[in-house]
Amino acid sequence: MNKALQELADAGVAVWLDDLSRPRLHSGSLAAMVERGDIVGITTNPTIFAKAIGAGSGYEAQLRELALRGTAIGETLRLLTAWDVRAACDVLRPVFDRSGGRDGRVSIEVDPRISGDAERTAAEAHGLWWLVDRPNLFIKIPATLAGLPAITACLADGISVNVTLIFSLERYEAVLDAFLAGLEQRAAAGDSLEGIESVASFFVSRVDTEVDRRLAALPADGDGRRGSKTGYSWSRVDVAGLGDGTLTFSGAVRDGSMCWRSGEAAGE
């Protein structure tokens, strides 16, 4: 592990890789990163997979087989990405087991084109959860208004979620409410909360970039980073408080994790 990653790990930061591809899996480079302790998680999105699949390397045989079967393009992409994510989950499974399920997670995102439809988003999340079929999976759901009830529905059904595209403290607060509502529904139904985890992906530099566009000068501590710090403090208070307290003794709820996305400083 290099010095910078070691310093992050020592500070309690769980470093995730924002990339995944078939060559990275087949070459052993991903396994090597995990073995060295460079990363303890992976997040993916449609853009990452579009680039990987578009490059073609490693996907040819599976694409040929799916084409012979007459598989539709949308389902082909779903199967290809699910295969990669399932394999990555297996690579990170030792980390998952050692950490008691806190680390070693891999995220796969629902189709962003349906982010305005709560029912379709929840259905897509259930389908991906079934297709990948690994306990260390996160289903990534955008924090749109329609995404909030989908988050609740997924958690109520025992699906771990990574809520992405959070740009404001107000939306983060709504995400926390959706998260707690899902756990409360599951507990009320008498179902176990064991193994359910969540992470909130708070975007940093995009907020700063927009503020820079509107204002000629910003304080040294940019708005995106200030919002991130406030959001982190909220995660300690609100999630630890567990809503109305009905989940306090459920035995499976831990502090919600926050993922800092697009963390590079604007303009650098």
140 is catalytic: yes
- Rounded CA-CA distance 40/52 in Å is 21
Residue 214: burial class (beta carbons within 10 Å; 0-12, 13-18, 19+): exposed
Q: Give, as one character, the DSSP assignment of residue 249.
A: T
End-to-end CA distance of the chain: give it in Å, rounded.
Answer: 25
- The pLDDT of residue 150 is 98
Q: Which CATH fold would you assign to the domain 3-261?
A: TIM Barrel (3.20.20)
Question: 3, 51, 140, 229: which is the annotated catalytic residue?
Answer: 140
Give the predicted TM-score (pTM) of the model.
0.81
Closest CA to 210 of 197, 220, 223, 221: 223
Q: Mean pLDDT, to the nearest integer, of 118-141? A: 97
- Rounded CA-CA distance 96/231 in Å is 26
60 to each of 21, 49, 65, how far by Cα in Å?
13, 14, 9
- Rounded CA-CA distance 175/181 in Å is 10
Lowest mean pLDDT among 75-84, 147-156, 223-232: 223-232
Using one digit for the tens of pLDDT, what is the confidence trace for 2-42? Answer: 788 888 888 888 889 999 999 999 999 999 999 999 999 99
Residue owning tokens 């809503």: 243
253 to each of 25, 48, 99, 193, 228, how far by Cα in Å?
32, 31, 15, 7, 22
When pLDDT is cut at 50, 70 and 90, the band that residue 266 belongs to is very low
- Rounded CA-CA distance 40/34 in Å is 7
Q: Is 177 helix (H, G, I), strand (E, B) or coil?
A: helix
What angle do helix axes 147-156 and 169-188 make, rounded to 10 degrees? 30
Closest CA to 38 of 6, 10, 63, 70: 6
Task: Kindly tell me if the per-residue pLDDT of 251 is higher than 60.
Answer: no
When pLDDT is cut at 50, 70 and 90, the band that residue 237 belongs to is very low
Domain spans in the chain, listed from the N-terminal domain onward: 3-261
When pLDDT is cut at 50, 70 and 90, the band that residue 235 belongs to is very low
- Rounded CA-CA distance 125/185 in Å is 18
- Look at phi and psi of residue 153 and say left if phi exceeds 0, alpha if psi is from -120 to 50, else beta: alpha
Using one digit for the tens of pLDDT, what is the confidence trace for 134-189? Answer: 999 999 999 999 999 999 999 999 999 999 988 888 898 999 999 999 999 999 99
Element (H, E) at 164: strand 161-166
- The pLDDT of residue 89 is 98
Q: How far is CA 227 from the centre of its chain?
A: 19
Using one digit for the tens of pLDDT, what is the confidence trace for 96-108? Answer: 999 999 999 999 9
Q: Is 109 helix (H, G, I), strand (E, B) or coil?
A: strand
